[in-house]
Chains A and B, each alone.
Chain A
C-alpha cells in the first residue's frame, strides 16, 4: 500500500524495542482529551505514563462515538460540554509527547475531514504525535489519510475484527503502519469479564495475513487479562477501565491516584508475561 515510501514508525520502533530489550508486549493506555478538563486530561496522561504506560492513545471527544461503550461516551460528553475543541487535542499531544511514550490519537473520521486531512496530519506531526487510530475509517475509504500519513511520517492504525475476512485482514495489515488494532470481540469499547477467545485466533490470523505487529483492545480491564493478552499480542490496549477510575473518583486527586494504581497493576500484568525475544 505504501509503495516505495519508507516512513519510520514511532510506535513500531517502541514495540520492537520493548520486545527486544524487555521481551514483553506494550501497555497502551487510552484517555480522552478534555475529560475532566483539557488541563486535567494532560495531567491524567502524564500520570498514566509515569505509572507505566508505554504508548498513549489520546481520544478526541465526538458527538457520535459509535464504537464506544457507555464509559467513554460519558467522558466524551463531559469533555464536549466543557467546550473541548479538536485543536485542544493537538496542543495536548504537544504537551504529553515529550514524556517518553509515543502518542497516538484515536479519532472518528469526520473531525479529521473537517479539519482537513493533510492539515491534521501536518499539525499532529508538528506536535510530536505518532499517528492515528481510526475506528470508523477503513483503508478502502482512507486514500487521503494514507497519502497524508506518508507525507508527514505518521503511523496509521486500522482495525480488524473477528468478522474480518482473510482478504480484509491482508489488505488492512498492508495499509497499517505501527500496528494493527485487533478488536478482541464483536462489540464496542467497555470492560468485560473475559477477553474473547477469538482474540488470540484473530491475532494469529492477522499476523498470518502479513501484519508485523498486532495489538489487542476492547474489553481488557484487569491485570490478569493484560497478562493473558500480552502472552500473544504485541500490545495490550486499555481504555474504559482507565477512564472509569477518573469518572468514579470523589476528587481529581483521588482519580489520579486510582488511575496510577490501575496503570501500575496493568503494567505489572503485562510485564509478567515477558518472554525472551524470538
Chain B
C-alpha cells in the first residue's frame, strides 16, 4: 500500500510512530481487516489500488473539489450559536460545523461523490447501496443521476413502508429500490443483501458503502472523503478565534461524520474528542445502539470492531430514535481510538437527544437531524466539565459537527412532542444508519 501523497510529510503509522491522522488500513490496532468472502477480495484490491492512484492524480482531487464547490455547496459554514451555548455551560462558546447545509442535507454527499468519481475511473457502470431510513440511499441515487450510473438501493421492507417518501425520492432520482424481505427486514439485512448482490455482480458493480465500516479499504477511504469536514472547520475556527477548539463533539452511528471532523484534530493532544452513541431507552433497558457500553469486539459486515452481540456471537438488534445511529457495529478506527484513549465515547438517550433537538430549533432557528441532536445533547453533557478545560482563563470552545438537517425527521419529532397524533415515523427497533 502506498503512503499518503496528498498529505506531505505523513507517514504510515503501521510501521511505527507517525501521526494518528495518517493511519492507514487494513488494521486499526486490533480492529478492521477484511472478513469477507474471497470472491470480493479482487474487487477490494481494485478499489484500494484505484483509490491510491486517484490520490496521486491531481485531476481527481481537482474534479472532486470542483463538485464540492459547485454542487455540494462547500465549504459549509461555521456558525457560532450563543443562545444554545448558554445551555451548554457558563462562558462556553459553541460552534457548529454546518454539514446540514450540504446538498441532499447531510455530510453523506462528501463520500458519495468521492466514491462515484472513483467508480467512473474504474469503468464500472452500476452502483448498489444499502439504506435504512433512506439518507444514504438518496445521496447515492443523487450521485448516480449526476454521473449517469445505474443505481440499485437495498432497503428493509419495514423501512420502505416507514420511509415511503424517501423511497419516492430515490425513485424520482432514477434509482431502483429493492425491498429486503428476509431476516429482520431492516438495515442490517439490507447490507447483507447488498453484499450478496456485490458478490454476484462485482465485475460491473461498485458497492457504495455509506460509512467508515466494512472491509478495507472502506474505513480508510470513506474517512478520507470526509476529512474535508475537519480540515475546513479547523481553518474556519483558526480564522474566527485564532486558536483550536478545546473539544470536538460528533454523533457516532457507523461513524463517518465523526471520523471526518476528528481526523483534523487527532494529533492535537489538547483537543478533546467526544463521540456520542445512541443510548436509546438507556443502556440498562437493552434497547440502545451503544456499542462501546453494551458491545464487545467482534466481526460484522467485513470488519472487526465493537459489536452488539449475544453470548454466541449472533448479532443483536440495536435501537435508537435516530435511524442514522441505529446499527449494531461501529467503524474500526473508532474502536481503535476508543481503546487507545484518544477519543471518548458516551451514550446519549433518546430523551436527551430530542430535548437538544428542540433546544436548537428554539434558540438558533436550526432544525437538526436527530442523529446530530445526539452530538448537541452530548455537548450539553460535556459542557458541565468545560470549566476545567483551560487554565489560562480563556473561554472554553466546543466544536460540534451538525452532520445533517432535520427535514427528514419532522414527522418523528412532531409525534414525539405531541404536535400531531400520528405514530412516529421512525420509532422502530431498527432504522437507517448507513
A contacts, CB < 8 Å to B? 62-67, 69-70, 73-74, 77, 80, 85-86, 109-115, 135-138, 140-141, 158-165, 168, 172, 183, 186-188
Contacts and interface: CB of A to CB of B under 8 A. Distances in A.
A63 B200 contact: no
A188 B200 contact: yes
A110 B298 contact: yes
B314 interface: yes
Contacts of B34: 138, 140-141
A47 to B, nearest CB: 27
Nearest to B181: A70
Contacts of B314: 62-63, 80, 111
B183 A63 contact: yes
Contact of A110 (B182, B200, B201, B299): B299
B243 interface: no
Given A110-B35, A136-B299, A186-B199, 10 more contacts: A64-B188, A64-B301, A64-B315, A73-B183, A110-B299, A114-B309, A163-B41, A163-B42, A164-B39, A165-B42
A141 B38 contact: no
Contact of A186 (B41, B188, B202): B202
Contacts of B43: 163
A69 B309 CA distance: 23
A110 B196 CA distance: 18
Contact of A168 (B33, B35, B38, B195): B38
Interface in B28-42: 33-42
A93 to B, nearest CB: 16
B313 interface: yes
A202 B397 CA distance: 60
Contact of A183 (B35, B39, B182, B309): B39
A62 B299 CA distance: 12
B182 A73 contact: yes
A137 B38 CA distance: 8
Contacts of B300: 64, 110
- 7 residue pairs, one from A and one from B, having the closest CB atoms: A114-B313, A161-B39, A187-B200, A163-B42, A110-B299, A110-B313, A111-B313
Nearest to A141: B33
A234 B307 CA distance: 39
B192 interface: yes
Nearest to A136: B35
Contact of B298 (A114, A159, A160, A172): A114
A138 B41 CA distance: 9
Contacts of B313: 86, 110-115
Given A110-B313, A113-B313, A188 B35 contact: no
Nearest to B42: A163
B33 A186 contact: no
Contact of A136 (B37, B189, B203, B315): B37
Interface string B32-72: 01111111111100000000000000000000000000000
A175 to B, nearest CB: 11
A64 B22 CA distance: 32
Given A64-B188, A186-B200, A172 B315 contact: no
A138 B38 contact: yes
B42 A114 contact: no
16 contacts: A62-B314, A64-B192, A80-B314, A109-B35, A110-B298, A110-B307, A111-B312, A114-B309, A136-B37, A138-B34, A138-B36, A158-B38, A159-B39, A163-B40, A163-B41, A187-B199
A86 to B, nearest CB: 5
A163 B40 CA distance: 8
A63 B182 CA distance: 11
B312 A114 contact: yes
Nearest to B315: A63
A206 to B, nearest CB: 11
Nearest to A61: B314
Nearest to A160: B38
Given A73-B183, A86-B312, A163 B188 contact: no
B328 to A, nearest CB: 9
A266 B38 CA distance: 27
A63 to B, nearest CB: 4
B334 to A, nearest CB: 18
B183 A77 contact: yes
A221 B302 CA distance: 29
Nearest to B316: A63
B178 to A, nearest CB: 14
Nearest to B313: A114
A131 to B, nearest CB: 17
A137 B200 contact: no
